[in-house]
Amino acid sequence: MTAYDDLQARFHRIGAIDGALSMLGWDEAVMMPDGGSEARAEQVATLRQIQHEMLTAPTVSDLIAAAAGDALDPWQAANRREMRRRWRHATALPADLVGALSRATARCEMVWRTARKEDDFAGFKASFASVLQLSREAMAAKAAAFGIDGYDALLDQYEPGMTADRLDVLFGELAEFLPDLLDRALAVQDERPQPLTPSGQFPIEAQRQLSVRLMQALGFDFNHGRLDVSHHPFTGGIPDDVRLTTRYREDEFAQAMMATLHETGHALYERGLPASWRYQPVGEARGMALHESQSLLVEMQLARGPAFIGFVAPLIREAFGVEGGPFTADNLRHWLTRVSPGLIRVEADEVCYPAHVMLRYRLEQALLSGDLVIDDLPGAWADGMMTLLGVEVPDDRDGCLQDIHWPGGAFGYFPTYTLGAMAAAQLFQAVRDAIPDLDVLIGQGDFGPLFAWLGTHVHAQASFGTTDEILTGATGAPLSADAFRRHLEARYIGD
């Protein structure tokens, strides 16, 4: 057995435990009664600890070195690279720091739930300070181990190879055109009659059936997955059993429909990962930027575009037995692409969303470096929201306490949302170029060619190349803001 073969067998086990952990995570969010949480935490901690021990065993380090001498085909070589990446992140942190961080974030997430509800930033500060301090230590440990800048090491956890320098360039491009584009989009919108709000009662069972119908139309295979309900929509499970969730309100149908479509984009990516590389690091999704590109390609590029709305409008009318003004394709299209600067990131439209991300990007860098102390966070947040979106922040609940990411220690994650939006635009433009009659097909509800193209150019690539290599292969260029700008201009001021 070569060193590489030995590694592959070890990572197969680690990957199978990943799968078990993913199913337990889905169950926790979707099925588990509250009283099960302590035991579930114990199960998860035990499995994670076992994985960590497998990954950091001294033999693994030797095997990774030795496997460099094995004759490897390109996918195997890429697999070894990804094994090394995962191993580096695991070994960079001392075990006691991993434990302390895990306990601190679990505690801070719990404190945050109450603090957010009660708009109690003062009550949140102490436990957040400990998460921040431990995150700094983890950042420093990874920076030392990888020989790179600390924040870049955090970014690498979510978007391999991404750096602050690159983000500054990409976000700089956005900052150049977005403020003006937002003003112009609002002006265009103000000149048009306001779209009618499709109000009414939308029975949850009818919404569920509409969700299922759209998932099936996009190619989701219910023999390899489920649709359920959770507090926050997400995609969990594993490629052969993708579990996605949505949430329903009786008085509004579009939020659930769009959440389902968004998660279906994630789900089809997972499902499209190459079956021959299951359980191996190279067989996993490339990173959060491409993952978010797949959900936003469906939710934003596809589903809020005129061709899709032409397809879905009659299904909506049929699902709820409604008709008339608010439910025409034309009205739905304007209603589903309203631009409206607001406080809440997860409710933001695609023109405003990047501002929410750029604010968090700047602030988390400042928090980690110590340039911003926690006491000054609410003020810095309010200033940023006013500058970027002209929005007044009335309280911390809908200000700096709105997201679970920081309490959970997920520093370096927020940028991937906007990288995903940019990649989605770039990929959708490339699909349009590759399939000239794409809009006709979409209007007919034929999504086969679209997802076949994404399957080949993105899903099946898994982690073989870098994000930029995958994008270059698919679109001819690495990630940039160009296609995103053209998309926003066409949709919001070009009409």
Q: How far is the CB of 223 from its own copies (least distance, A)?
A: 4
The residues near 299 (Cβ < 8 Å, ≥ 6 apart) are 258, 261, 262, 265
Q: In the complex with its own copies, which residue's Cβ is closer, 118 or 221?
A: 221
Q: Assess 31 for contact with its own copies (CB under 8 A).
A: yes
Kindly write down the DSSP assignment for every residue of 400-439, as one continuous string.
TTS-STTTTT-TT-THHHHHHHHHHHHHHHHHHHH-TTHH
Q: How far is the CB of 70 from its own copies (least distance, A)?
A: 24
Q: Assess 7 for contact with its own copies (CB under 8 A).
A: no
Q: Assess 470 for contact with its own copies (CB under 8 A).
A: no
Q: In the complex with its own copies, which residue's Cβ is closer, 45 or 374?
A: 45
Query: Residue 159, SS3?
Result: coil
Strand partners, 249: 252
Q: In the complex with its own copies, which residue's Cβ is closer, 278 or 397?
A: 278
Interface positions, 212-271, toward its own copies (CB under 8 A): 221-226, 237-241
Q: Which amino acid is at 301?
A: Q
Catalytic residue among 82, 263, 270, 364: 263
Strand partners, 235: 244
Query: Would you say 452 and 434 are in contact if contact means Cβ atoms under 8 Å apart?
Result: no
Residue count, binding to its own copies (CB under 8 A):
37
Stretch that binds its own copies, among 31-39, 319-327, 377-385, 414-422 (CB under 8 A): 31-39
Interface positions, 143-172, toward its own copies (CB under 8 A): none
Dihedral pair phi/psi, residue 234, rounded to 5°: -160, 165
Q: Alpha helix (H) ranges present in 147-274?
A: 150-158, 164-191, 204-218, 254-272
Q: CA-to-CA distance for 152 and 46, rounded, in angstroms?
A: 29
Q: In the complex with its own copies, which residue's Cβ is closer, 279 or 361?
A: 279
**Of the candidate residues 5, 9, 16, 444, the single one contacting its own copies (CB under 8 A):** 16
Radius of gyration of the chain (CA): 23
Q: Assess 57 for contact with its own copies (CB under 8 A).
A: no
Residue 263 designated active-site = yes
Q: Assess 468 for contact with its own copies (CB under 8 A).
A: no
Q: CA-to-CA distance for 365 and 371, rounded, in angstroms?
A: 8
Measured in whole angstroms, how far is the alpha carbon of residue 103 from the centre of its chain?
A: 24
Q: Assess 306 for contact with its own copies (CB under 8 A).
A: no
**Of the candidate residues 2, 10, 23, 397, the single one contacting its own copies (CB under 8 A):** 23
Catalytic machinery residues: 263
Residues forming the site for its own copies (CB under 8 A): 13, 16-17, 19-20, 23-24, 27, 31-36, 38-40, 42-43, 45-47, 49-50, 221-226, 237-241, 278-279
